Amino acid sequence: MLTRTAIAAGLAAAGIAATPTAATATPTIATPAASSVTAAPYTPERVCGPGFRRVRDGHREMRTREGAVFGHVYLMYSKRSGKNCVAAIKTAYLGTKTTTGAGIVVRGGGRSEDVQKYRFYAETGHVNGSWKCVKFWGWTRDPSGRVEASGGRNSWGNCAG
């Protein structure tokens, strides 16, 4: 029969619970907020592709109402092509397919949105936006679909090419 310490150590190794501080400590369930420190295996530069760079004021955390961070959303721009890209990169539930989305709207121009069940990130594709203002957003949900984390900018910005 396994002891509480052996069970807790096994759960901690699997990433399900925190490691107990003493042999008699009760294991605690890891929360998405605690798992948000996990580094995502993708960067926005890798997601959007060659030539895309992070723009000033183009990063937001994807937070739940309670404040847990499930990931980050990035607005990217390529000077060479004049196109924007939005990457919503998960830091919680990595490797698990959860509904994740990214979106962008260009003032006087196009709109793109990508929503599916993804393991690591969602990405809008490349949208023309040279010298045009944009709004962007991203979101993801927990595996049950009941808790959503979102972030982005709802005001027009990044208007200069």
Query: What pLDDT score does 40 carry?
Result: 67
In this prediction the pTM is 0.75
Domain span at residue 20 reads: 4-30
Asked if residue 76 and residue 125 are part of one domain, the reply reads yes
Asked if residue 91 and residue 18 are part of one domain, the reply reads no
In a domain, 36, yes or no: no
Query: What pLDDT score does 64 carry?
Result: 98
pLDDT exceeds 50 at position 10? no
Amino acid at 102: A
CA pair distance 91, 32, nearest whole angstrom: 9
Asked if residue 77 and residue 13 are part of one domain, the reply reads no
List the Cα angle 30/117/109 in 5-degree steps. 120
The CATH number of the domain holding residue 111 is: 2.60.40
Mean of the pLDDT values across residues 117-126? 96
In a domain, 153, yes or no: yes
In a domain, 124, yes or no: yes
pLDDT in tens, 27-86: 333 344 444 445 668 999 999 999 999 999 999 999 999 999 999 999 999 999 999 999
Asked if residue 59 and residue 135 are part of one domain, the reply reads yes
